[in-house]
Amino acid sequence: MVTATACAGALAACATSTAGPAETGTVRTVLNSDPSSFDPTQAQGQQTFQVASLLYDTLLRRDEGSTLTGGLATDWATESASEFTFTIRRDASCSDGTPITASVVADSLRRLADPATESTWKNLVFGLGEVNVTADDRASTVRVSLAEPFTTLPQGLAIPQSGIVCPAGLADPEGLEAGTVPGAFSGPYTVREAQQGLSYTLALREDYQAWPDFSTPLKGEPPRRIEIGISTDQSTVANQILAGDLDLGQFADPDAVKRFTAQPDLHQYLVTNSTAYVVFNQRKGRPFADRPDLRRAVAMAVDQKAFNAIFTKSTAEVLTSVSPASFRCVNTDRSLLPPHDPEAAAKALSGVTGVRLIGNTANRQFSGGADYLYEVLTDAGAEVTMSKVDNATFWSTIAEGGSDWDVVFLGDLNSVGAISASLDRVIGPSVEDGGRNYSASDNPEGEAALAEGLATTDPEAQCAAFQRAQRTLFERSDIVPLAGSPLTYVTGPDLTISVFDDYVDLATMRVGAK
């Protein structure tokens, strides 16, 4: 194991010189919030997913052209929409040296699928039905059988939240949550030091052999150490990148990105990181429960172009659904959305009281977007209380189900790459009932259409079903589409990273590639 020393603070340089990772073997970066958990099944927020991708290997990995490649699995077969077999590589081991056998993989997947784990990612990976996972160690295979068909299972087994937890981690759930179990990790890195609110240090495993075979081979060497600070100040992070005190930054602020245009030695990777749309808490007793008229009024109060100007300085796509237009099966019919009509919105919303809005302070863009939503609601006459919280708290709050909130706009990070993985955020069982639906909406027509799409392998039939599911959202005014959320990754001259479509895999960081 490589030893490491944590950064002194979130905004301080992690070394006494500006030597790059090619000389030091260390990559210095920041996240916008602390990881919510070191247990991948409990991960909330992009910063947590990114850390999980470094600590835990998945069966499959995203690759170029919306394809998958092997991770811990060397081969896989989709026998039907409910039967899948994975062949597990024989050279993988846990961070304590335990071999990663088919049984180790199966035990981790069973835990993710177990309702007692209360993971919001179970349904994203396996669907709504019961899951049976069996292992054959002699053949090195794992078989997943689903009670209800779910064609996107392979894509789900490529997201960090499905990462394989080793036996030592399964035996110590509290330590797993805190990141203090040395043998819990199946991926290339381990947690060397964690100081909540300040910094985290990850160390490369010297015995790690399970690197994926991507269609374009990675060049260079993985960093031996990753030092992570915490900061939401993108201007300061940009200063540190330019000064050589940080090697990797993530920027949603277009003004910050402009500062790198005259820096040809720096690498920039632009992706549509997530999609922003309004979601309502429709649980009994909340102001928007059983009130599609009020939800529609919120949609009429919002000017998508004005939101986009604040959120991205008009650099992003204005949405017509929960996913960008590049996704298969996405609605592109703008006539399904209500027109911007502040006067009509005011007639419905004037006098509505007790509305609680939660804003995400992940960056200035999300904070400004929350301010815009607050302004248009109060201008329409609604009594609104706004609370702003950090990224981890935002996601953990709305994932609790019974929390005290009424309206939010999500930055929906769809790492699966299928529209169904966003539709079930607002259709189907609520989070407290084991689903992924933050709104707890009751939409049986939408549920049936979503289930139909997930049960077929015919592309045209699937799109027809997903289109019907989206129409129900607009008929019920369950969502208000806003805009895409561009994110630019900037790395120093010595560091490169791979992007697969709009997905950035931090485990592909390489030092010294030319």
pLDDT score at 18: 66
Q: Which residue bears the tokens 């070394």?
A: 15
* Alpha helices (runs of H) in 84-233, residue ranges in sequence order: 102-113, 122-126, 153-156, 167-170, 173-178
C-alpha span between 176 and 166 (Å, rounded): 10
Residue 336 lies in a domain: yes
Residue 336's DSSP bridge partners are none
Q: How confident is the model at residue 10 (pLDDT cuts 50, 70, 90)?
A: very low
pLDDT score at 6: 36
Query: Number of structural domains, the chain?
Result: 1
Residue 452 lies in a domain: yes
Owning domain of residue 308: 272-487
Angle at 371 between CA 366 and CA 374, to 5 degrees: 125
pLDDT score at 363: 81
Higher pLDDT, 92 or 197: 92
Kindly tell me if the per-residue pLDDT of 120 is higher than 90.
Answer: no
pLDDT score at 514: 64
Q: How confident is the model at residue 278 (pLDDT cuts 50, 70, 90)?
A: very high
**Segment 151-184, tens digit of pLDDT:** 999 999 999 999 999 999 999 999 999 999 999 9
Locate 73 and state its tokens: 């699995």
C-alpha span between 447 and 435 (Å, rounded): 12
* Mean pLDDT confidence for 275-296: 98
pLDDT score at 391: 84
Kindly tell me if the per-residue pLDDT of 8 is higher than 80.
Answer: no
CATH number at residue 439: 3.10.105.10
**Segment 452-492, tens digit of pLDDT:** 999 988 889 999 999 999 999 999 999 999 999 999 999 99
The answer to whether residues 345 and 297 touch, using CB atoms and an 8 Å cutoff, is yes
Kindly tell me if the per-residue pLDDT of 5 is higher than 60.
Answer: no
Residue 339 lies in a domain: yes
The answer to whether residues 25 and 224 touch, using CB atoms and an 8 Å cutoff, is yes
Residue 330 lies in a domain: yes
Residue 179 lies in a domain: no
Residues 6+ apart with CB under 8 A from 68: 60, 61, 62, 154, 155, 158
**Segment 293-351, tens digit of pLDDT:** 999 999 999 999 999 999 999 989 999 999 988 888 999 999 999 999 999 999 999 99
Residue 120 lies in a domain: no
Residue 329 lies in a domain: yes
The answer to whether residues 198 and 490 touch, using CB atoms and an 8 Å cutoff, is no
Three-state helix/strand/coil letters over 284-310: CCCCCCCCHHHHHHHHHHCCHHHHHHH
The answer to pTM > 0.75 is: yes
Kindly tell me if the per-residue pLDDT of 426 is higher than 90.
Answer: yes
DSSP string computed for 454-496 = HH---HHHHHHHHHHHHHHHHHHT-EEEEEEEEEEEEE-TTEE
Residue 282 lies in a domain: yes
- The mean pLDDT value of the chain amounts to 93
* Mean pLDDT confidence for 239-267: 95
